[in-house]
């Protein structure tokens, strides 16, 4: 079976050389010139391994990985950088990165890293209990009044009342519920939910209509009506059960 590899680098020569090398190894290879294109591709396609450059205009490699971990947590990630530092290495480990390679990495290093990443992905799949879907970590939340938030189906249900969420609303609610009590900035949420970076000034305007629509749906369920809380001048937090 051929595996799908996504190469993300703003340098055309680097993208082409990596892509050609991996195609010779028998992989299906797609390339992306920036983080936003990579995220759009990952939303629509299964990616087994992503090889991503750290320093890119717009979304950098770590920001791409942060979003990827939300939308495709089963994808293995290899980070390439010519600017290695203790800080970026530590951050990459926090973001569940398979490997961290310094440029210029040799063909043998890259091929070996990809093989190990695919082996690790297979081992994780084999170890996973088929009765438990852990790709989103939190799938179903049952509130104390019986309200059920099903994040896989993107629906909220209480007795005969059912409310369906759009994909963006579902992503936003999942991120907030998974990180109960954590305050997210407007910019962080735009990045995680919509998949692109924006300025701190523009982010609230982009996010506000989405939050408003989600809150309107949550208000139909009393126990959820005040869960998504605004933090003035910062962003939003999901307020858990007290």
Q: Which of these, 78, 89, 223, 73, lies nearest to 149 by C-alpha position?
A: 223
Determine, yes or no, domain membership for 153. no
Give the global pTM. Answer: 0.55
Is the pLDDT at 144 greater than 80, yes or no?
yes
Among candidate residues 127, 157, 189, the one where a domain is terminated: 127
Q: How confident is the model at residue 133 (pLDDT cuts 50, 70, 90)?
A: very low
Q: Which residue has the higher pLDDT, 195 or 206?
A: 206
Give pLDDT, residue 91: 61
Q: Which residue has the higher pLDDT, 130 or 85?
A: 85
**Residues pairing with 31 in the sheet:** 7
- CATH classification at residue 187: 1.10.10.10
- CATH classification at residue 121: 3.40.50.2300
* Domain residue limits at 219: 167-238
| 65 in Cβ contact with 92 (< 8 Å) | yes
Domains: count for the chain: 2
Q: Say if strands 161-164 and 155-158 run parallel, antiparallel, or are unpaired.
A: antiparallel
| Mean predicted confidence (pLDDT) in 27-37 | 95
Determine, yes or no, domain membership for 146. no
Please check whether residues 123 and 189 belong to one and the same domain. Answer: no
Q: How confident is the model at residue 199 (pLDDT cuts 50, 70, 90)?
A: confident
Among candidate residues 76, 95, 127, the one where a domain is terminated: 127
Give pLDDT, residue 201: 85
Q: CA–CA separation, 99 vs 95, rounded Å?
A: 11
| Mean predicted confidence (pLDDT) in 157-177 | 91
Backbone angles phi, psi at 40, to 5 degrees: -60, -40
Q: Which of these, 57, 51, 53, lies nearest to 75 by C-alpha position?
A: 51
């Amino acid at each position: 079976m051929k595996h799908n590899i996504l190469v993300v680098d703003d340098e055309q020569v680097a993208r082409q050389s990596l892509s050609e090398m991996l195609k010779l190894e028998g992989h299906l290879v797609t390339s992306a010139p920036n983080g936003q294109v990579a995220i759009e591709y990952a939303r629509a396609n299964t990616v087994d391994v992503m090889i991503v450059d750290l320093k890119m205009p717009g979304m950098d490699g770590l920001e791409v990985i942060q979003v990827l971990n939300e939308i495709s947590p089963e994808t293995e990630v290899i980070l390439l950088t010519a600017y290695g530092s203790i800080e970026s290495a530590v951050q990459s480990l926090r973001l569940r990165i398979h490997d961290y390679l310094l440029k210029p990495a040799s063909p043998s290093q890259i091929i070996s890293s990809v093989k190990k990443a695919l082996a690790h992905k297979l081992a994780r799949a084999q170890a996973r209990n088929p009765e438990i879907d852990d790709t989103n970590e939190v799938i179903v939340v049952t509130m104390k009044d019986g309200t059920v938030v099903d994040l896989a189906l993107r629906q909220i249900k209480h007795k005969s009342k059912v409310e369906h969420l759009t994909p963006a609303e579902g992503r936003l609610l999942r991120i907030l519920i998974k990180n109960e009590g954590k305050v997210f900035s407007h910019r962080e949420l735009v990045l995680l939910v919509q998949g692109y970076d924006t300025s701190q000034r523009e982010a609230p305007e982009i996010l506000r209509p989405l939050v408003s629509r989600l809150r309107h749906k949550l208000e139909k369920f009393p126990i959820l009506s005040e869960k998504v809380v605004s933090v003035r001048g910062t962003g939003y937090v999901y307020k858990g059960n007290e």
